[in-house]
Amino acid sequence: MRVRVDWRASVSLTGRILKYLSVAFLVPIAVSLLYSQQDLLVFVATMAGTVTAGALLERVGPAEDPGPREAFLMVGLTWLLVAVVGAAPYVLAGSGTVASPVNALFESMSGFTTTGATVMRDISVDAHSRELMMWRQLTQWLGGMGIVVLAVAILTELSVGGAQLMEAEAPGPGIEKLTPQIAETARALWLAYIGFSVAQAVLLYLLGVSGLAPEMTAYGAIAHTFTTMPTGGFSPQARSIEAFSWAVQWAIIPFMVVAGTNFVLFWHVLTGDWREAVEDSEVRFYAGCLASLSAIVSVLLFVDNALVDAENVGRVAGLVEPSIRHAAFQIVSIVTTTGYASMNFDVWSPPAQYVLVFAMFLGGSAGSTGGGIKMIRWLVILKSIRRELFTTVHPEAVRPVRLAGRSLDENAVRGIYTFTLLYFVVFLVGTLLLAVDAARVGGIGIEVIGLVTATAATLGNIGPGLGMVGPMGNYLQFPWSSRLLMVGLMWIGRLEIFPVLVLLTRAFWRS
Amino acid sequence: MRVRVDWRASVSLTGRILKYLSVAFLVPIAVSLLYSQQDLLVFVATMAGTVTAGALLERVGPAEDPGPREAFLMVGLTWLLVAVVGAAPYVLAGSGTVASPVNALFESMSGFTTTGATVMRDISVDAHSRELMMWRQLTQWLGGMGIVVLAVAILTELSVGGAQLMEAEAPGPGIEKLTPQIAETARALWLAYIGFSVAQAVLLYLLGVSGLAPEMTAYGAIAHTFTTMPTGGFSPQARSIEAFSWAVQWAIIPFMVVAGTNFVLFWHVLTGDWREAVEDSEVRFYAGCLASLSAIVSVLLFVDNALVDAENVGRVAGLVEPSIRHAAFQIVSIVTTTGYASMNFDVWSPPAQYVLVFAMFLGGSAGSTGGGIKMIRWLVILKSIRRELFTTVHPEAVRPVRLAGRSLDENAVRGIYTFTLLYFVVFLVGTLLLAVDAARVGGIGIEVIGLVTATAATLGNIGPGLGMVGPMGNYLQFPWSSRLLMVGLMWIGRLEIFPVLVLLTRAFWRS
Ligand SMILES: [K+]
Ligand SMILES: [K+]
């Protein structure tokens, strides 16, 4: 391919996506009509603006079938422009800390990338209108919907080794035969996504009316549904899921697990192929990680005597059910990169906290809405290390890395290696930049653990970290320039780094 | 090779090395005779014991030319047995915290692996005899000598991709032609090692007699020489290099830089081939890292108003020379994995501290006494990422990673990838084990940043970390089981992980 990248086609496609997006504003408009009508005009105006902008951008060029380079550009551009459009309601509503342009962009990017990091100081439907809070939740649900398609239909083709990986992981039908067309694949996966969402909303609502969760209203049920399936983590409650009963906490755990699972597996289950799903090597590794880390943290919480008087939560140490519940909830929340909190884990003992830091570097499954490095990559890396140890002893042996009974292409292995190392490089350098930027303004209140986990939480699309960015904290203590840098980290992390970095190379733009 | 590993040959060779090692006890014996004769018997007894043990082990099998597997076993075994032997004087002397067997093994392993992490509470020649302190320093110098040979002559052959890498990095003569025999190579490199050591000892001594460093005695000059060239970091002063004047601090910086440089380059310089050394890509990358990170930290210290009243050090903030000196000293100390401190960097601002955390993951050059991931690996990784970005845009292009004008073998690249990822895996899992172990004893006083940097500092053979394991702290707060685990981390880190892990595979032991 020696032709110049057709940026007009990319812009045009992005415009079309903005037009689709504008339909989503009907949700906050409906909420507004149901409740206060406080920010009704805000959303009507943004909707009109988005349609106009979309239509104008669509006219920039012919909406031709994009090549790989145009697809890269479109994907990167889409998440950026959607975040900009999504920031408008925060600015126009003008309530609280999210009204400043940088904060609005942060909150919007955090929403659409399903990160869940927040710069909203007063998280409640008193400080902000219900429609604005619902928009905040909805951005995550929309972002998750976008990721489901992107991860399965596009990103695997674009990102290094992704396509080969998918083929190895989904033998039998094979990802390319799963459905003949991207549009049809998307429909199948969206069906699962919407199906689980409806199930969760109904369950949460029933818990509310049954008296098992008196705090759960219809609004709350929908709000939390909008942020669970996309592994988003935004909550209209400042205290996150801590604000709800044990029943709600237990009910949300399986939905987070589902959200972090490869959605292609649900397709297998739906078509009756249970065995395919159960025997999937990534899903076993995923289940093993969740179970073992939850077990470790359960014990750590059970013996943590300082947790006896945990504020708002009551006694945890020495009690079996609360120890297991908070451990499982938090591990599942961090590994799947949801970012909900069932209690303020910033008061946990340092050992238990470190297990969460460890979990921040795992990530959900491939083909899920989860972020981070992801299970499949760690699985391939561990298998590859074992292979390398074997060939060190037997240099003459040729031994491919096997996944689901198939040999993995060496290019796929190299792609996974490169991604994972690049992830660590971006993490280390990102923290370095945040550190230098923090010093610029005096660095007041910014701790090393806050710097490190803030980077891990934004790059990995997790949301909360430790210390100043703990589950009950926010990102307001960072200077505005750092918050802008984090907008970039969320963006680059969500798109799995390569598609964004490629845009910065000369080779991409030169014909 | 289908024969069973000949462990008798490995044990026999290790026995021979113990016999050589016993000669080293003449140094503390000489110091003892010069000063108090307090621990004279301790060292005479250990020397006798070591000779006997060495001779006995040598008889276990025939000292045949070892194959690769026997070499692996020998290397692993040697560092382990040497550490055990080196622990004996601490136990026998019976002074202070290092007298307990676990602590003695920790201090000895920390010495021979040139880590410099300590479990000695009262670091001074008052609490311990001068000969015992000198033995502590000497273990590092001997360990460094072992590493110089190991890194260049053996490890490059054994470790993944090492051999190919060396060939690419040292073109012209080529590592295999540098000298025809390992023994001769070793002699050439030891010559450089000893030469720099003598130069440093003389310089430090002259600074002392000239009045520029009144605290520097002949004992101090030799003691610090013993721990600079091996990038060791032990000091007979509790305050490390903070105890000395600016002149000593400036004088030690270049020697640390040298210690972290590939020793093969000095061979080129010695044979008049300056250009070869200056044009080496790793040395340029190394210099660039040191310069840029020092510059960043200089600025961070200059503006850090909290540092005005730095205890023991005087004013730093707002002063040019002290800011640059402490920044350069600390960055060079951490990047080369020496671990000396010119001031207690645990009181630095969090941003400056994070730069040190970042630097902990760099490491010295290949073929130096430095530990960690190492410059050459990062250079190859960065080049490889750039290549991957290019081939993402141009999938049809075949583009090898080039180093020093030569294409790098793909197996070498894969070996470097595997090592680096394995390093992060061991780091993350090592911290996890330490965290769980800390919880076992109540986790009192153990912070997340302490856990993380303690693992990084022992695995990377650096020595100090932050918080409880800061430069003026020690590793006594960890439970004994954690200290034993760290003995393993120092061992596995020093031998670059693979040679140790290989010993744990079935394939290694089966015929
Ligand atoms: K999230
Ligand atoms: K060291």
Q: In this predicted model, what pLDDT tens digit does every residue of B231-273 receive, in sequence order?
A: 999 998 888 898 899 999 999 999 999 999 988 888 778 777 7
Q: Does B352 touch chain A (CB under 8 A)?
A: yes
Task: Judge whether A24 and A138 are in contact, CB under 8 Å.
Answer: yes
Residue of chain A whose Cα is closest to the Cα of B416: A417
- Check residue A348 and report its DSSP letter: S
How far apart, in whole angstroms, are the C-alpha atoms of residue A52 and residue A108?
20
- Residue B432 has its nearest CB partner, among A354, A435, A501, at A354
Q: B243 is written with which tokens?
A: 């105890």
Contact of B202 with B112, CB cutoff 8 Å: no
Note the pLDDT of residue B243.
87
Break chain B into its structural domains and give their ranges: 409-509
Ligand 1 centroid vs A103 CA: distance in angstroms? 18
Give the pLDDT of residue B195. 93
Question: What digits encode the pLDDT tens for the residues A413-440?
Answer: 888 899 999 999 999 999 999 998 988 8
Q: Is A508 on the interface with B (CB under 8 A)?
A: yes
pLDDT confidence bin for A503, thresholds 50/70/90? confident
For residue B111, report the distance from its CA to the centre of ligand 2, in Å.
9
A485 and chain B in contact, CB less than 8 A? no
- Condensed to tens digits (0 to 9), the pLDDT of residues B257-314 reads 999 998 888 877 877 777 777 777 888 999 999 999 999 999 999 988 777 767 778 8
Confidence of residue A398 (pLDDT cuts 50, 70, 90): confident
Q: What is the pLDDT of residues B80-125, one digit of tens each?
A: 999 999 999 999 999 889 999 999 999 999 999 999 999 999 888 8
Structure tokens given for B12: 């026999």
The nearest alpha carbon in chain B to A72 belongs to B393
Tokens representing B263 are 């020793």
CB-based burial label for B126 (10 Å; 0-12, 13-18, 19+): exposed
Residues of A in contact with B415 (CB under 8 A): 388
**Predicted confidence (pLDDT) per residue in A27-41, tens digit:** 999 999 998 888 999
How far is B322 from B301, CA to CA, in rounded Å? 9
Q: Can you tell me the distance from the alpha carbon of B36 to that of B42, in angstroms, rounded to the nearest whole number?
A: 13
Mean pLDDT across the stretch B153-164? 46
Kindly give the distance from the C-alpha atom of residue B461 to the centroid of ligand 2, in angstroms, as a whole number: 5
Average pLDDT over residues A311-317: 82
**B residues 63..102 contacting A (CB < 8 A):** 69
Looking at residue A154, its pLDDT comes to: 56
Dihedral (Cα; A265, A270, A276, A277), 10-degree rounding: 40
Question: Where residue B25 falls among pLDDT bands split at 50, 70, 90?
Answer: very high
pLDDT in tens, B457-508: 999 999 999 988 998 889 999 999 999 999 999 999 998 898 888 888 888 8
Q: Quick one: tokens of B179?
A: 């000298």
Q: What is the tens place of the pLDDT at every residue in A240-286?
A: 898 899 999 999 999 999 999 988 888 778 777 777 777 778 889 99
Q: What is the mean pLDDT of chain A?
A: 86
Rg (CA), chain B: 22
Of B328 and B152, the structure prediction assigns the larger pLDDT to B328
Q: How confident is the model at residue A65 (pLDDT cuts 50, 70, 90)?
A: low
Contact B349, A443 (CB under 8 A): yes
CA of A480 to the centre of ligand 1 (A): 21
- Domain range B409-509, its CATH number among 1.20.1070, 1.10.287, 1.10.4160, 3.40.50: 1.10.287
pLDDT tier at B440, thresholds 50, 70, 90: confident
Nearest Cα residue in chain B from A420? B421
